[in-house]
């Protein structure tokens, strides 16, 4: 039996290069070795976008299409819609009984996001979404979670919840599997503005669906070493976002180009031109597949429906086991 992977994305819009480097790439690489579940996290999307339901609905297709476009094969992976899997809602409720509010308030990712969205008044659902994420991971007893670094606190929280559950209700057995995070080998991708994180809501992202010209324009705007004013100035790739992108997408040339920057033998616009080309080459096959799925939405819908049915079959069994362990069966 193959081990299981579960990972996925909030359905708040199209995915970008940060998602690609952080998680999508390893999903594709591992899809044949693991029984892979991809969650279209529409409930989690509501935590920040509950006032924009149509955006989330469109986002379900966007995220499914981007996952298929990067090369996940529908016959290999289970792509499913979070809100349609009842087990996730039920497990969330059960776990929430023993998760302390303080541990949620001190979760560093929750803190950063709360600041970023400007929440004076945190909702119950937002504060608690790591509990729901623990349900996402456990309804199918996932073993491995490929994610970007910002998700590590959530995976840690999930592991804690599982240990607690097993302690409280396991009767010496592990009812739930303790998963491992699989962190991307490439460091987190900064935004084109130089911000440490590329983010949809930060307006600094290059999307998988961006046309070659748009990629070119965005790379032109991308932050470089601001001390380098003239072509003859020596540059410092260590503080240049374009250099970081070269390392992520152009590993064969990035060291040479970095050296040329240091001794002022390449200018920023040439360096950016090379980068745009490399990124567009990476995106070409992705966009070809994207075009197919975007113009065949009924196929995408069918893939999601089939995946969701499978998730429900597995989830219903898990919920029964959990209820049994919690002595809720009469
Ligand atoms: N929180 C993840 C993100 O924002 C999405 C997500 C929801 C997820 N449930 C998950 C990731 C379970 C890994 C496992 O990108």
Beta-sheet strand order (sheet of 78-81) = 78-81, 35-41, 4-10, 144-147, 180-183
pLDDT tens track for 24-42: 999 999 999 999 999 999 9
Identify the pLDDT of residue 120. 78
Place of tokens 């499913």: 80
Decide: 59 and 73 in contact? Cβ < 8 Å.
no
Identify the pLDDT of residue 31. 98
Number of H helices, E strands in the chain: 15, 5
CA distance 223 to 243: 10
Residues facing 5 on adjacent strands: 36, 144
**Is residue 110 in contact with ligand 1, taking CB distance under 6 Å?**
no
The DSSP annotation for 237-271 comes to: GGG-HHHHHHHHH-TTTHHHHHHHHHTT-S-HHHH
How many Cα atoms are found within 13 Å in the side-chain-facing hemisphere of 273? 5
DSSP helix/strand/coil, 233:
coil
Pairing status of strand 78-81 against strand 144-147? unpaired
CA distance 36 to 301: 18
Nearest to 242 by CA among 264, 258, 265: 258
Decide: 42 and 82 in contact? Cβ < 8 Å.
yes
Residues of the chain with pLDDT under 50: none
CA distance 134 to 103: 14
The span from the first CA to the last CA of the chain, in angstroms, equals: 33
| Contacts of 275 by beta carbon, 8 Å cutoff, 6+ apart | 219, 242, 245, 246, 249, 250
Q: What's the pTM? A: 0.95
Distance 315 CA to ligand 1 centre (A): 17
Residue 146 gets which letter from DSSP?
E
CA distance 230 to 224: 12
Decide: 22 and 152 in contact? Cβ < 8 Å.
no
Pairing status of strand 4-10 against strand 78-81? unpaired
Distance 109 CA to ligand 1 centre (A): 12
**Is residue 83 in contact with ligand 1, taking CB distance under 6 Å?**
no
Query: In a mutational test of the pocket of ligand 1, which residue from 13, 27, 147 has the highest number of ligand atoms less than 8 Å from its CB?
Result: 147
Decide: 165 and 121 in contact? Cβ < 8 Å.
no
CA distance 306 to 300: 10
CA distance 58 to 66: 12
Distance 44 CA to ligand 1 centre (A): 8
Residue 188 gets which letter from DSSP?
P
CA distance 56 to 53: 5
**Is residue 113 in contact with ligand 1, taking CB distance under 6 Å?**
no
Q: What is the largest CA-CA distance in the chain?
A: 80
Identify the pLDDT of residue 186. 86
**Is residue 138 in contact with ligand 1, taking CB distance under 6 Å?**
no
Distance 29 CA to ligand 1 centre (A): 19
């Amino acid at each position: 039996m193959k081990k299981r992977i579960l990972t996925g994305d909030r359905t708040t819009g199209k995915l970008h290069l940060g998602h690609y480097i952080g998680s999508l790439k390893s999903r594709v690489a591992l899809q044949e070795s693991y029984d892979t579940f991809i969650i279209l996290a529409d409930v989690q999307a509501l935590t920040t976008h509950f006032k924009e339901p149509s955006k989330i609905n469109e986002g379900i297709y966007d995220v499914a299409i981007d996952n298929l476009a990067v090369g996940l094969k529908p016959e290999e992976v289970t792509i499913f819609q979070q809100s349609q899997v009842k087990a996730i809602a039920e497990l969330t409720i059960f776990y929430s009984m023993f998760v302390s509010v303080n541990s949620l308030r001190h979760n560093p990712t929750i803190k950063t996001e709360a600041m970023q969205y400007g929440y004076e008044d945190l909702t119950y659902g937002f504060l608690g979404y790591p509990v729901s994420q623990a349900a996402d991971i456990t309804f199918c007893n996932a073993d491995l979670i490929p994610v970007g670094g910002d998700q590590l606190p959530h995976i840690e929280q999930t592991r804690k919840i599982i240990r607690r559950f097993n302690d409280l209700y396991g009767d010496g057995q592990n009812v739930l599997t303790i998963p491992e995070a699989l962190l991307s080998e490439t460091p987190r991708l900064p935004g084109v503005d130089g911000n440490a994180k590329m983010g949809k809501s930060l307006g600094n992202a290059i999307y998988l669906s961006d046309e070659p010209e748009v990629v070119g324009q965005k790379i032109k705007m991308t932050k470089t070493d601001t001390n380098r004013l003239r072509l003859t100035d020596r540059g410092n790739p260590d503080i240049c976002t374009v250099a970081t992108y070269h390392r992520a997408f152009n590993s064969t040339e990035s060291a040479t180009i970095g050296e040329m920057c240091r001794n002022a033998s390449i200018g920023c616009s040439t360096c950016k031109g090379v980068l745009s080309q490399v990124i567009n080459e990476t995106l070409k096959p992705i966009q070809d597949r994207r075009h197919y799925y975007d113009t065949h939405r009924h196929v995408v819908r069918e893939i999601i429906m089939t995946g969701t049915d499978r998730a429900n079959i597995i989830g219903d069994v898990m919920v029964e086991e959990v209820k049994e362990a919690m002595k809720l069966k009469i």
